[in-house]
Structure 1
Amino acid sequence: MARNFFIELEKILYQKDILQKIYDFNNFYENFKANLYTFDHSHQAIINENSQVKIIHPMKIRRPKEANSTLSLAKILHSVAHIEYSAINLALDASYRFKNLPLNFYQDWLEVADEEIKHFLLLEKTLNELGFKYGDFHAHDNLEKALFLTKDNLAHRMGIVHRGLEAKGLDANPFVLEKLKTTNHPVKCLFDEIFTIILNDEIKHVYKGNFWWNFAKKENDNYIDLCKAYKEFSLLGKIYNKKARIQAGFNESELKELNNLYNKNGG
């Protein structure tokens, strides 16, 4: 008997054991690619708290300015690992929550989840080499908040989360890498490869967000207006990665508007 795509994905999305979650997803993804699931779009999605770390307010998180100790290095890596783990859930949630869409929508976001898992595992392995693991430090829940606030609107989810917050990761990538490379720890040799993989994949992810934002938005919807409506989120870095954003689907005039919106003081 064929299994329902959404019911099976719900189990994975809310699985608390990380290794089990990844194992289950890998099996699910192979079955999906083999066309073994049915799509019952009458399925009603649920929304649950889904964090694996202790959450505190972003302003209470002390971010090391340099990786000048093993602890500082681990904290920086952990913050990136948290973003990647959250991104797994965001991609799974998009596939799970939004119904009656073309098959390639589900293909896209499962592919994103698969790549986010690979990013997370690369970072988790490096954390382990430092003597730490994911969950050892506090984190914020900005991505989870964005997931909740956009749970009923596909255009908003694609625009704010996958075209917005994920694109901000493109801005941060080179600066995080530069900070990590201030360490003298032997794991330093891994960072260029890991962060190049992440950057190249994230460009593709934001491009998918751009595609599905354009698919889902209404004719008169304006991206800058959407950003203003979600003013609790900043969706552009103070110094933004123009090259990566252009590759991901932004245009120059739009980037100028975003810069005027978020960096009015020239930050």
Structure 2
Amino acid sequence: MTGSFPTVAGAIRSALLTAEPKAKAFAARDVARKWRLGRLAWKFDVPMPDTPAWPERPDLLSPARMPRRGRGGSDKGRIALWHALAHIEFVAIDLALDIVGRFGGRLPRAFTDDFLSVAADEAMHFALLDRKLRTLGSHYGALPAHAGLWQAAQETSGDVMARLAIVPMVLEARGLDVTPATLERIRSQGDENGARILQRILDDEIRHVGFGTKHFVALARENGESPQNHWKSLVAKHFRGGIKPPFNDSARLAAGLSRDFYDSIAS
């Protein structure tokens, strides 16, 4: 009977090619809901786009051209912070969708289960952050944003282990390290609503890093490789930035990312 259903790959491709931010967030959550309810066939019958559809705004700039964010306590600084976070979560929607659409057919169904749930989480995070911006008199797209976030997907488009090594196990793990300090700063400014948003994101990101680590370790062991050694070799090949302390070791460990992965290569 599943042949009569739309395919999961077709639904993912459609969401990736949705440009308007709120519509993309809705589409991602809809794909995850239909998959959870058994309304999408587990079939990977269409290719993923090299680049998703994005809105005309924000203007995407190289890191060197990004304006300084300003003081965090000013209205301008607060808006810049929440806008930067919203952009990270917006691109994270596409990263989670793409990893399923590109690699899900080669892996157990649990991989699709896990990363479509990540896509739904990222869409919810984006919605919370866009709403936060609107309470501050702004919106997503009002400021320039970092152009390099999709680069990790392009760099790892041919290797699921490289994608897992870089996106959840480096980039999202870095979020585990930096978010607690941001959360405390927001709370010290009396912004309890903002603190609750960041706490929700932090809690979800521990699970996301955990999914990435779980599938990476399983694939490495299936191939007879040391997960830690193979991760280090992939990071050296595909990640241009350094793995920099300080680390949130407790959150990383909760996600299964123990220090024996990253300690020896930390810069």
Say whether the fold is shared (TM-score over 0.5). Answer: yes
Per-residue CA distance 1:169-217 (angstroms, 9 max, x = gap):
1111022224444646xxx121221111111110000000101112333
- TM-score for both structures, normalised by structure 1: 0.88
Contact kept? 1:172, 1:237, Cα under 8 Å:
no
Q: Percent same amino acid among aligned pairs?
A: 26
Hey, what's the Cα distance between the residues in 2 that align with 1:193 and 1:237? 27
Is 2:258 the partner of 1:251? yes
Tell me the SS of whatever aligns to 1:21: helix
Contact kept? 1:41, 1:100, Cα under 8 Å:
no
Contact kept? 1:224, 1:257, Cα under 8 Å:
no
CA drift of 1:14 comes to 1.5
| Structure 1 runs of 4+ with >4 Å offset | 181-184
Structure 2: stretches of 5+ with no match in the other structure: none
Is 2:76 the partner of 1:71? yes
Is 2:231 the partner of 1:223? yes
Is 2:245 the partner of 1:238? yes
Range moving further from structure 2, 135-144 or 17-26 = 17-26
Relative distance call for 1:49 and 1:28 in structure 2 (3 A) is: closer
Per-residue CA distance 1:195-245 (angstroms, 9 max, x = gap):
1111111000000010111233343352112111124133x3431111111
Whichever residue aligns with residue 130 of structure 2, its letter is: E
- TM-score for both structures, normalised by structure 2: 0.88
Q: Look up the match of 2:59.
A: 54
Contact kept? 2:86, 2:129, Cα under 8 Å:
yes
Hey, what's the Cα distance between the residues in 1 that align with 2:155 and 2:123? 24
CA drift of 1:65 comes to 5.4
Identify which of 158, 175, 178 aligns with 1:169. Answer: 175
Q: Look up the match of 1:120.
A: 126
Q: Look up the match of 1:29.
A: 32
Whichever residue aligns with residue 222 of structure 1, its letter is: H
Hey, what's the Cα distance between the residues in 2 that align with 1:84 and 1:43? 25
Hey, what's the Cα distance between the residues in 2 that align with 1:9 and 1:55? 24
Q: Look up the match of 1:145.
A: 151
Tell me the SS of whatever aligns to 1:167: helix
Hey, what's the Cα distance between the residues in 2 that align with 1:170 and 1:72? 22
Whichever residue aligns with residue 249 of structure 1, its letter is: G
CA drift of 1:47 comes to 1.2
Matching of residues 137-216 of structure 1 within 5 Å: 137-181=143-187, 183=189, 188-216=191-219
Relative distance call for 1:255 and 1:131 in structure 2 (3 A) is: same
Whichever residue aligns with residue 23 of structure 2, its letter is: Q
Hey, what's the Cα distance between the residues in 2 that align with 1:182 and 1:176? 10
Tell me the SS of whatever aligns to 2:146: coil
Contact kept? 2:20, 2:54, Cα under 8 Å:
no
Per-residue CA distance 1:85-134 (angstroms, 9 max, x = gap):
11111101111111232111111011011111111111111100011111
Hey, what's the Cα distance between the residues in 1 that align with 2:72 and 2:120? 29
Structure 1: stretches of 5+ with no match in the other structure: none
Q: Look up the match of 2:43.
A: 40
Contact kept? 2:5, 2:41, Cα under 8 Å:
yes
Hey, what's the Cα distance between the residues in 2 that align with 1:65 and 1:171? 22
CA drift of 1:254 comes to 2.7
Q: Look up the match of 2:6.
A: 3
Contact kept? 2:8, 2:43, Cα under 8 Å:
yes
